[in-house]
Amino acid sequence: MERIKKIPLFIIAAVLIGLKTYIVYRFYFNLSIESAFQEIILFINAFAFSFFVFAIGVWFKERRQKKFIYITTIVMTFILIANLMYYRNFTDFITLPTLMQVNNVGDLGGSMISLIHIEDLFLILDVALIFYLARKEAFPVKTFSKLFKRRIVTVSLSVVILNLVLAEIERPMLFKRGFDREYLVKNVGIFTFHGYDAFITASMQSKRLFADGSEFNEIEEYVKETVEDSKDANQKIDIENVAEGKNIVYIAAESVQQFVINREVYGEEITPFLNDLIEDSYYFDNFYHQTALGKTSDHEFLLDNSLYPLPNSAAFFTHAQNEYYGLPEIINNKRDYKSYVFHANNASFWNRNVMYETLGYEEYFDIESYEFTKEDEIGWGLNDKIFFDQSVDILKELDDPYYAKFITLTNHFPFDIPESEANLPLYESDSVTLNQYFQTVRYTDEALEEFFATMKEEGLYEDTIFIIGGDHYGVPSYHNEELGEYLGEEITPYEDAKLQRVPFIIHIPGHDDSRTISTLTGQIDYKPTILKMLGIELDEDIRFGSNLFDQPEDRKDFIAFRDGRVIGNDYVYAAGMCYDNESGEAVEEVNCDPIREAATKELNYSDEMIYGDLLRFYDFDRGEVIESAEGE
């Protein structure tokens, strides 16, 4: 016992924080551990950084050393808890650029409360214990000899290096796979990940400064050879010019995933209206959301630009002042369409008021455009039924033709809905999120039905093309166990990747064709599809998507995600493994190499365009790179 009392306090603190970190990794985060070697690495990295940081304290004198231990304990605990809250919502980890979006936190409200669990109290017990031990002077805080300082630093650095070596053995070129944040956290730890993220963020911010337009040549060549070849492809269905002169309404169905389509809860359909609408529409049942940290704003970025979202931030925030050639600008220039956005949220949320102007939207009808009381709110704000009803009044005053984008709100995490508004039985599982999700999806489905009915009553239906698309996943992977019980199957990494499908419906009143199309598609393909429907051909466009209606053999054979996953026609790459896309069985990883390499190249090209703001060096009228941008 006397020997234990001689252990310095900084070591006790390092052990307690390291142990807590490991417990959070293992039992709070939903990290996939596939081997004993991965378990060993996870255990080591939990303690490596903790030991290294607290070892710095030995260089301080007694009073400052105790203060250092206090501050370090609080900061490391805060980082862990903040990442846990974020992970429960987004199944991801905080990056430095997301901290720039802190003004969004004020709108989270009930979302934050729902992310706190009773077992989280455990995460502050060690903090209380460390403070208690320091006050009682149960373990020594003293000035150490130079020899001890050198030895402790050497040992702590050795443990960090051991962690990095083992991580490199487990996952070669790990830091070149920064898009896969789970792999970084599993192998080098949450704190080292944040250090790496800060370095990457700084280097990315410098790209625009040093860009001169020469980087564009290689990208332009790739786009022309790989993407634009499909311009002259045979369309599976001829939809060219089908939208000419018609109004186009796009509805972002907040958090609606495809698995709810044609499914029931206790014998009642979840989406009865959408199920019926699909029978009279073009329905893409193999359509994937491709969003990242920016969620709904990423989905808008993908749709308007046919560029990929950024790997560690939201372009709507960090690159809203870039030069883009967005869909609203193009259809205004080529077909005199004015574009509008309807969303009953704060204008500044996700920096939309700035980004919409950049992309060429005529007007943004935000929360100030709607009249409602607190009783009209569900979850994050104005309920979808009143939102659509008041929006139709605005639509009636717009000049034809127009492009209008609606962003719904009720089916937003944490899916709160008053019992009086819920018209679907509450599902019973251990996941409150999943249970409530079905009810809010049903509410949005009802709101859509009422919207269509009102459009018909007001005489706006026949001359409008309606497009409905899920913007991103609704149920985070954190709830896969309960979701798997509902679906009647175990959700493997393969199944989780397939769950990223969202409904995508194109409804054309009076059109004499409707069918389900199973071509591998994604949000990157939206912009070229709308342009094709309007009969707009652009030799000068730079984009990474293709027309949704092209024959499968004339399209790229992969859908890329920002987290490293890739969906191919034949194979799926997820969680570091390759799966056969038909059977879902794991196969040799080499089978996925072609789609992984192609996806990585395309994602990198898109990043270069955004980070370097390369479109400022492009003359869209002439379709060529110019030597310098105006004002440079």
CA atoms of 483 and 522, how far apart (whole Å): 23
Q: Give me the residue label for tokens 């192609």.
A: 598
Q: Nearest Cα to 194, choosing from 115, 358, 83, 348?
A: 83
Is 296 one of the annotated active-site residues of the chain? Answer: yes
Of the candidates 529, 596, 615, the one whose C-alpha atom is nearest the C-alpha of residue 282 is 529
Round to whole Å and give the CA distance between 432 and 440. 12
Cα–Cα distance between 122 and 20 in angstroms, integer?
Answer: 9
Phi and psi, residue 211, nearest 5°: -70, 140
337 closest CA partner among 508, 531, 468, 545? 531
Q: Which helix (H) or strand (E) holds 396?
A: none
Distance CA 102, CA 231 (A): 42
Pairing of strands 577-580, 586-587: antiparallel
DSSP 402: E
Rounded to an integer, what distance in angstroms lies between the CA atom of residue 179 and that of residue 202?
A: 16
Tokens 């949220």 sit at which residue? Answer: 345
Residue type, 371: E
Q: What sections of 338-431 are H helices per DSSP?
A: 352-359, 384-395
Query: Can you name the residues that pair with 301 across neighbouring β-strands?
Result: none
Q: What does residue 515 show for φ and ψ, rounded to 5 degrees?
A: -170, 165
**DSSP labels for 558-607?**
EEE-TTS-EEESSEEEETTEEEETTT--EE-GGGGHHHHHHHHHHHHHHH
Distance CA 256, CA 470 (A): 5
Q: Which of 351, 350, 220 is nearest to 623 (CA)?
A: 220
Buried b (16+ CB within 10 A) or exposed e, 53-66: bbbbbbebeeeebb
Question: Containing H/E element for 269?
Answer: strand 268-269
Catalytic residue among 91, 291, 296, 444: 296
Q: What b/e readout covers 458-488, taking b as 16+ CB neighbours within 10 angstroms? A: eebbeebbbbbbbbbbbbbbbbbebbbebee
Active site residues: 296
